[in-house]
């Protein structure tokens, strides 16, 4: 995986840019008390992550790669790590409600 370096920029500094890669994953298991979201966005050579429990404000991190290819490759590796842990593409609100019944 290409190296990512933590960056001091805030996620808001990318709000006017169109992402080149974006994925939203979640894990939901009421028996294990898992109710988490994970959102990753790539802007040029920056990887912006947002994660937390559903209903919370969550946490953010911004990392920089040497180039856009490195950022996209690192993002794909991070997505695969989350999928191995059981995260799945984010469902819509109705699907989530149906699981809780």
Q: What is the pLDDT of residue 93?
A: 52
Show the tokens assigned to 31: 């028996």
Tens digit of each residue's pLDDT (9 = 90 or more) over 22-79: 999 999 888 888 899 999 999 999 999 999 999 999 999 999 999 999 999 999 999 9
Q: Find the helix or strand (DSSP H, E) in which 58 lies.
A: none
Q: Going from the N-terminus, what domains does the chain have, and what CATH number goes with each?
A: 5-100 (2.20.140.10)
C-alpha–C-alpha distance, residues 35 and 27, integer Å: 6
For the segment 11-30, the average pLDDT, to the nearest whole number, is: 92
- Are residues 28 and 55 in contact, defined by beta-carbon separation less than 8 angstroms? no
Q: What is the pLDDT of residue 92?
A: 64
Q: What is the pLDDT of residue 1?
A: 53
Q: Dihedral (C-alpha) 62, 70, 51, 82: value to the nearest 10 degrees?
A: -160
More confident residue, 80 or 1: 80
- Are residues 17 and 75 in contact, defined by beta-carbon separation less than 8 angstroms? no
């Amino acid at each position: 995986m290409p190296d990512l370096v933590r960056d001091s920029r805030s996620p808001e500094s990318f709000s006017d840019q169109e992402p080149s890669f974006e994925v939203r994953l979640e894990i939901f298991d009421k028996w294990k008390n898992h109710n988490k979201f994970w959102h990753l966005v790539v802007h040029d050579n920056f990887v912006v992550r947002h994660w937390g429990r559903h209903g919370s404000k969550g946490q953010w991190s911004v990392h920089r790669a040497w180039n856009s290819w490195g950022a996209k490759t690192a993002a794909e590796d991070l997505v695969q790590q989350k999928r191995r842990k059981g995260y799945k593409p984010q469902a819509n609100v109705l699907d989530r409600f149906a699981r809780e019944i």
